[in-house]
Amino acid sequence: MSSLLRAFCGYHRISTKWKGLVPSSYQFIQNGLVSTYNQSDKTDYAYEMACSNIRYGKGVTQEVGLDCLNFKARNVCVMTDSKLAKMDPVRVALESLEQHKVPYQLYDKVRVEPSDQSFKNAVQFALDGNFDVFLAIGGGSVMDTCKAANLYSSNPSAEFLDYVNAPIGRGRPVTHTVKPLIAVSTTAGTGSETTGTAVFDFLALRSKTGISSRALRPTLGILDPLHLRTVPERVTAYTGIDVLCHAIESFTALPYYERQPRPDNPIARPAYQGSNPISDVWSRHALTITSKFLKRAVYNPDDEEARSQMLLASCFAGIGFGNAGCHLCHGMSYPISGLVKTFTSKDYDLDHPMVPHGLSVIITAPAVFTFTASACPERHLEAATCLGADVRNVKREDAGKFLADVLRKIMLDIEVPNGLKELGYTSTDIPELVKGTLPQHRVTKLSPRPASEEDFAAMFESSLTVY
């Protein structure tokens, strides 16, 4: 693969040669030059676009009762967490169900940053309830838990590891039919209302992993800006910063035509396929919006425009990474979350230590993008441009350091802790952090630059302090 193609940020196909039904080579124009890319029969040659239906608007949560009627629901499983169960988003949704006489049962025991055990508890509730429609009201933890409950209760014979991503689980494709799922998002960050991914802490591994399949994506995602009025400052900051990483990681991910192996059957093509022209559109747009509105949304809860725009940015980034995938920031974040000792954050009212997901992701971002930039410097510079930076005098070899500095400025603006040390980690924890990262093939294999065990250790070391 030529360095020219790695740097390529979009191509015009001139001609295609075919080997059976598989394109074997492409010609494309880059900076006025014609170059050829020869397709290996081991790499993929296609990408798929998948996304939930999305409804956006102030007050649209009040329509979920009618949505359930339209699905001919006889028994709805409503999932949320114990704090949200007492708040307006759940109240409005339940009132809508009751107004339209839709039977439901409420499960309010979702764990914030769910574990395999909390997934299993929710699955058991779903099995006992024999539901035909699922309704998730919450952030990523709630939506991911509801996806898992839907998946496993729709196929009671499945073992838990059957659908968990390889090599931790068996990574089997979902071939059975799941029930309709409506996801009402109450935060602006995860984009889980758009994706077929459900992430959890695997307690035995002390790291996060997940389940990824297009079959898991919600049938309908509800984006109601009214729900963001009472989201606390730190929750807004750490969910918002997750949008940033989703967009940059998906934009800089390994191109889909370099991903291996090529599936023998389309059903085996992963949800995370590598960067591609469709995902790129959403990722760029999410970065532009986040650059403009993140700080305003964090520090001005009454800034309706900023918080509404961040809700859209979260959805846009979700469409981007939901089809392209994330890479090293997310892969390294999973052991950061799983190995947490005592860290807690303001505005998170929990009974257990927790590194909020967005914080666990952004904390290594400067080190990650410094490392990956040599594989596709133009993409790293374009990401910086989308974030408002002037890159006209930046050399290609400085792309990673430049983007890292842009990110540090954003992190400082919203008061992100100064590295892993402030999350309770020291150099002695790095071997375990690396160990927890290595199995995260679902995301790490999408890095544009392959990372070794030593590379991960160096990035964690660099992330002990950020500023």
The model's pLDDT over 194-208, given as tens digits with 9 standing for 90+, comes to 999 999 999 998 889
Tell me the pLDDT tens digit for each residue of 182-239.
999 999 999 999 999 999 999 998 889 999 999 999 999 999 999 999 999 999 999 9
Question: How confident is the model at residue 416, as a pLDDT?
Answer: 98
CA 290 to each of CA 224, 284, 372, 439: distance values in angstroms, whole numbers, following the listed order:
18, 10, 22, 31
Q: How far apart are alpha carbons 203 and 335 in whole angstroms?
A: 11
Q: How far apart are alpha carbons 233 and 237 in whole angstroms?
A: 6
Q: What are phi and psi of 113, to 5 degrees?
A: 60, 75
DSSP at 170: -
Question: How confident is the model at residue 210, as a pLDDT?
Answer: 93
Q: What pTM was estimated for this model as a whole?
A: 0.89
- Which pLDDT band, with edges at 50, 70 and 90, does 39 fall under? low
Q: What are phi and psi of 171, to 5 degrees?
A: 60, 35
Q: How far apart are alpha carbons 79 and 332 in whole angstroms?
A: 29
Question: How confident is the model at residue 40, as a pLDDT?
Answer: 60
DSSP at 275: B
Question: How confident is the model at residue 28, as a pLDDT?
Answer: 41
Closest CA to 217 of 189, 191, 195, 190: 195
Residue with the bigger pLDDT between 147 and 15: it is 147
Average pLDDT over the chain, rounded to an integer: 92
Q: How far apart are alpha carbons 298 and 239 in whole angstroms?
A: 10
- Which pLDDT band, with edges at 50, 70 and 90, does 351 fall under? confident
Tell me the pLDDT tens digit for each residue of 150-175.
999 999 999 999 999 999 999 999 99
CB atoms within 10 A of CB 185: 33
Residue with the bigger pLDDT between 96 and 4: it is 96
Question: How confident is the model at residue 35, as a pLDDT?
Answer: 41
Question: How confident is the model at residue 334, as a pLDDT?
Answer: 96
Q: Pairing mode, if any, of strands 16-19 and 181-185?
A: unpaired
Tokens matching residue 72: 């001919």
Tokens matching residue 365: 């971002």
Quick check: 344 pLDDT over 50?
Answer: yes
Alpha helices, H only, 300-376:
304-324, 328-338, 357-362, 365-372
Q: How far apart are alpha carbons 419 and 97 in whole angstroms?
A: 45
CB distance 191 to 210 below 8 Å: no
Q: Is the peptide bond before 167 cis (omega within 30 degrees of 0)?
A: yes
Secondary structure class of 242 (helix, strand, coil):
helix
Terminal alpha carbon distance of the chain: 36
DSSP track, 92-139: HHHHHHHHTT--EEEE--PPSS-BHHHHHHHHHHHHHHT-SEEEEEES
Quick check: 421 pLDDT over 90?
Answer: yes
Written as one letter, the residue type at 63 is E
Residue 48: alpha-carbon gap to chain centroid:
17
Tell me the pLDDT tens digit for each residue of 57-114.
999 999 999 999 999 999 999 999 999 999 999 999 999 999 999 999 999 999 999 9
Q: How far apart are alpha carbons 145 and 459 in whole angstroms?
A: 31
HSE value, Cβ hemisphere, 13 Å, CA-based, for 439: 20
CB atoms within 10 A of CB 317: 33
Question: How confident is the model at residue 21, as a pLDDT?
Answer: 38
β-bridge partners, 201:
115, 208
Q: Pairing mode, if any, of strands 16-19 and 22-30?
A: antiparallel
